[in-house]
Amino acid sequence: MTRLELEPLPPRPPPPPAAAPAPDGEGSPWAWRAGCAAAGVLTLGVLFSSFNPTFGFFLKDRGFDAQRWPWLLFQDTNGGARLDWMPQQAYVLSLLLAGLCLLACSVMTRSLLRAALCVTSLVLVTAVVMPSSDEYMLLAAAQAGLALLAGGVLADGRGLEGTGARRAAGVGCMLLALFLVLPYPDDKQLALDNPLVDQPYESPLSVTFSDLARTVRGEMQAAVPGGGMRDVHLGDWAGAHLLDLPVLLALLLGVLALLGRGGRWAGPALLVLLLVGTLGPCVMRALQEAAAYRSGMPDAEETVADLVAVHGRNATQAYLLGLRAACLPMALSVAELLRRR
Amino acid sequence: MDATGPSTTQPGARRSPPLASAGAMMLAAALLMANPFFGASSTSWPWEVLARARSPLLVANWLVWLGAGLLAVVLGLRGRDTGRGTVLAALALLLGFTCHSKLAGLRIEENSLAVNAGISLLMAGFLLQAWGLGDRAARVLSALGGLLVVWTLACAFDYPSGAPPRSQLVVKVHDLVSRLVGGDVLMDLPNYDEHLASAAALLLASALGMLALLGVRGRLSGSLGVVMLVATFAIRPVCTFSRVVAAEGFDAVTFARHVSEVLVTMGMAWCVFMSVVIVDLAQDRRDASGGAA
């Protein structure tokens, strides 16, 4: 009987270390890069929409002539360099640097420099678009909540296991929930001028649902630009609530993500909701005001340039309300800062 | 809890006296604003203000303020990590947006939201430095806050009649330098030196915050930064109160009004609360990742 010689078994590999506290994960790199590119293009778009020879509108109410290209602001009449520090230069420099930083981030590999550029772009944009008007403060709260939620989920696409990402998403969800139930005055200007006057206060959530119920029942009517009323359909309802609907959907998606049911598409989906929530109302306003413009001058011959001017100016002005223009950089910065290095 | 700051050893049972203190400051600020003895904005208790208020938004603002303060005290002393940072951060952010609106019951009027957000980030970074916690978080928060404050002031313009717009940062720096070398200042305000001293404290704190990125950080610079930020809020009311005391003698009611002005109207209570909540969140993250943050 031959003795079976067995090769000694290789040493057993050491057991894996005990489950470490969940780190912040990789998130969705392609969605983050796409978001950066979109944010860069939008930021530069705002800049060139505010200053251009066709419909530049920056500080028009203060008599400033913005109908010229932004680089001309840095030249004096003799063609030399002009180094004033005026509102227009601050605005142009902030948006230009922020846009370029965001575009650079979209092509850079992950590094400390990329994180620094991303956060710098957020600071530059926030400093010039932070609302000073009281009217848009609560709107800005909802937009910040949406950005925090999207940033948190984008930082960690694997079921929000990372502590920081989970916290950011949680804070965003709570902020959105509080925004939806906070009572708003029907007439904000009246409330500001005379707080003792009685007027109805409703939360965005109740307004959304009561408008939906009235639309479904066929009781909702809207004024048309030429005078008179017309029935409101579901499409109009969705258009009128283009901020509240993405907030509501984002809240649901955020809760699912916090419960570990978001899946890997939660981050990109939240980015899309953020874009719809910030750009949707701008597009709607541009279309509505363009329709009003056309109905006011039915015989006017519109060129493509006219339409671009009217739509571009209105959409940009709407995009500058609240924190809309800072929403995307905020989400991307949160995601970048919360990722594991 | 050690002698210098919150404990870092047991995340599951971490008490936070700073959080409880910030909550108590919020409650005290509300009581100083509304009480029958020396209320700055109302001579009724807060609950009577709430019962009489006609605007639900004003009621909501008071409730969120009081609720945030109470919750911070309870959760800070209770010492169980039940996601308190998340809840308190959401409440603090909501307060930040509502209190900077004219519709709020407890209004912050001194600085814009961007500047106060920058001050909160700066203070959070300095607190982390002073307590020797979270090196990376301290560095990022200090630098971010400093940059936000400086760039917001640079992009905020005053429009004096008959003169070109002037950046607030340019005016402050110009006037500070002018005062130091004995030149003329651009602004003509009563007791302008107090404004300048306050601005100098804020600008120095911002510069110190940005220097954290270059390695200038530690317990000393953190403590110095916190002192400068407190001075930013306190210099003017302290000077005003000193003048009142010199002219009329000490009066508890006037003293309470000045304290409430610092805490609510100038925004110190919100900034401290926000910064302590950010510190709590940074610590949570640091504890969860084994101290690597």
Per-residue pLDDT of chain A (341 residues; tens, 9 = 90+): 445 455 565 665 565 554 444 444 455 678 888 989 999 999 999 999 999 888 888 888 777 788 888 888 888 777 777 778 888 899 999 999 999 999 999 998 888 889 899 999 999 999 888 876 667 788 888 889 989 988 888 887 665 666 778 888 899 999 999 888 888 777 766 666 666 667 778 888 888 888 888 877 777 776 665 566 667 777 777 777 777 788 888 889 888 888 877 777 788 888 888 888 888 888 877 777 777 666 666 565 566 677 777 778 888 888 888 888 888 899 999 888 887 55
Residue B157 touches partner A, C-beta closer than 8 Å:
yes
Distances (CA, A) of B131 to A28, A100, B4, B76, B117: 35, 37, 6, 17, 21
Residue B12 touches partner A, C-beta closer than 8 Å:
no
- Could you give the CA distance from residue B134 to residue B288 in angstroms, rounded to a whole number? 12
- Mean pLDDT, residues B67-89: 86
Of A45, A287, A250, the C-alpha closest to A154 is A250
User: Looking at residue A245, what is its pLDDT?
Assistant: 83
Considering Cα of A257, then B288, then B71, then A179, what sign does the dihedral take?
negative
Structure tokens at B197: 């001293």
Rg (CA), chain B: 20
User: With contacts defined as CB-CB under 8 Å, which chain A residues touch B93?
Assistant: 141, 144-145, 171, 175
Asked whether the predicted pLDDT for residue B168 surpasses 70, the reply is yes
If one compares B63 and A283, the residue with the highest pLDDT of the two is B63
Q: Which 3 state secondary structure label does DSSP give A223?
A: strand
Of B61, B197, B203, the C-alpha closest to B119 is B203
User: Looking at residue B7, what is its pLDDT?
Assistant: 47
Q: How much is the pTM?
A: 0.86
- Is B54 in Cβ contact with A196 (below 8 Å)? yes
Measure CB to CB from residue B90 to each of A21, A134, A171 and give the nearest one.
A171
Measure CB to CB from residue B101 to each of A23, A137, A163 and give the nearest one.
A137
Q: Is the separation of the CB atoms in A339 and A110 below 8 Å?
A: yes
- Mean pLDDT, residues B161-182: 89
- Is A128 in Cβ contact with B289 (below 8 Å)? no
CA distance B46 to chain A (A): 18
Residue A97 touches partner B, C-beta closer than 8 Å:
no
Which 122-181 residues of chain A touch chain B by CB within 8 A? 123-124, 126-128, 130-132, 134, 137-138, 140-141, 144-145, 163-164, 167, 170-171, 174-175, 178-179
CA distance A137 to chain B (A): 6
Which among A1-10, A74-83, B80-89, B251-260 has the top mean pLDDT? B251-260
User: Looking at residue A23, what is its pLDDT?
Assistant: 43
User: Looking at residue A28, what is its pLDDT?
Assistant: 62
- Could you give the CA distance from residue B211 to residue B191 in angstroms, rounded to a whole number? 31
Structure tokens at A247: 């907030």
- Residues with Cβ within 8 Å of residue A32, at least 6 apart in sequence: A154, A332, A335, A336
Measure CB to CB from residue B284 to each of A167, A179, A195 and give the nearest one.
A167
- Residues with Cβ within 8 Å of residue A327, at least 6 apart in sequence: A143, A144, A146, A147, A274, A277, A278
Asked whether the predicted pLDDT for residue B210 surpasses 70, the reply is yes
Which 45-64 residues of chain A touch chain B by CB within 8 A? 62
- Mean pLDDT, residues B189-215: 90
Contacts 24+ apart (CB under 8 A), B186-191: B191/B236, B191/B239, B191/B240
E strand intervals along B49-195 = 157-158, 166-167
Mutant choice from B49, B82, B88, B101 vs A, greatest count of A C-beta within 10 A: B101
CA distance B110 to chain A (A): 13
CA distance A21 to chain B (A): 5
Measure CB to CB from residue A138 to each of B87, B98, B102 and give the nearest one.
B98
Which 283-322 residues of chain A touch chain B by CB within 8 A? none
DSSP H helix total and E strand total for chain B: 11, 2
Residue A98 touches partner B, C-beta closer than 8 Å:
no
Q: Is the separation of the CB atoms in A331 and A154 below 8 Å?
A: yes
- Residues with Cβ within 8 Å of residue A145, at least 6 apart in sequence: A171, A172, A173, A174, A175, A176, A179, A247, B90, B93
User: Looking at residue B80, what is its pLDDT?
Assistant: 63
DSSP A75: B
Q: Is the separation of the CB atoms in A318 and A312 below 8 Å?
A: no
Distances (CA, A) of A291 to A282, A303, A319: 14, 15, 19
Distances (CA, A) of A67 to A51, A185, A308, B77, B224: 6, 37, 15, 59, 48
Pairing of strands B166-167, B157-158: antiparallel
For B56, counting Cβ atoms within 10 Å of its Cβ (0-12 exposed, 13-18 middle, 19+ buried), the class is middle
Question: Dihedrals φ, ψ of B279, to 5°?
Answer: -60, -40
CA distance A201 to chain B (A): 7
What DSSP line would sit under B102-148, residue for residue?
A: TT-SS---SS-HHHHHHHHHHHHHHHHHHTT--HHHHHHHHHHHHHH
The 10 Å Cβ neighbour count of residue A29 is: 14
Structure tokens at B72: 């911070």
- Residues with Cβ within 8 Å of residue A8, at least 6 apart in sequence: none
Residue A91 touches partner B, C-beta closer than 8 Å:
yes
Q: Is the separation of the CB atoms in A28 and A268 below 8 Å?
A: yes
Helix (H) or strand (E) holding A316: helix A304-319
What residues are paired with A229 via a beta bridge?
Answer: A223
Of A143, A147, A144, A169, the C-alpha closest to A156 is A169
Of B109, B133, B92, B131, the C-alpha closest to B33 is B109
- Could you give the CA distance from residue A290 to residue A306 in angstroms, rounded to a whole number? 10
Q: Is the separation of the CB atoms in B134 and B5 below 8 Å?
A: no
- Is A124 in Cβ contact with B159 (below 8 Å)? no
Measure CB to CB from residue A174 to each of B86, B281, B288 and give the nearest one.
B86
What residues are paired with A74 via a beta bridge?
Answer: none
Q: Is the separation of the CB atoms in B222 and B128 below 8 Å?
A: yes
- Mean pLDDT, residues B240-259: 87
User: Looking at residue B290, what is its pLDDT?
Assistant: 64
User: Looking at residue B150, what is its pLDDT?
Assistant: 95
- Is A130 in Cβ contact with B285 (below 8 Å)? no
User: With contacts defined as CB-CB under 8 Å, which chain B residues touch A131?
Assistant: 113
Measure CB to CB from residue A140 to each of B97, B144, B164 and give the nearest one.
B97
What residues are paired with B34 via a beta bridge?
Answer: B42
Q: Is the separation of the CB atoms in B155 and A94 below 8 Å?
A: yes
Q: Which 3 state secondary structure label does DSSP give B292?
A: coil
Confidence of residue B61 (pLDDT cuts 50, 70, 90): confident
In single-letter form, the type of residue at position A231 comes to D
- Could you give the CA distance from residue B269 to residue B119 in angstroms, rounded to a whole number? 12
Q: Which 3 state secondary structure label does DSSP give A185?
A: strand
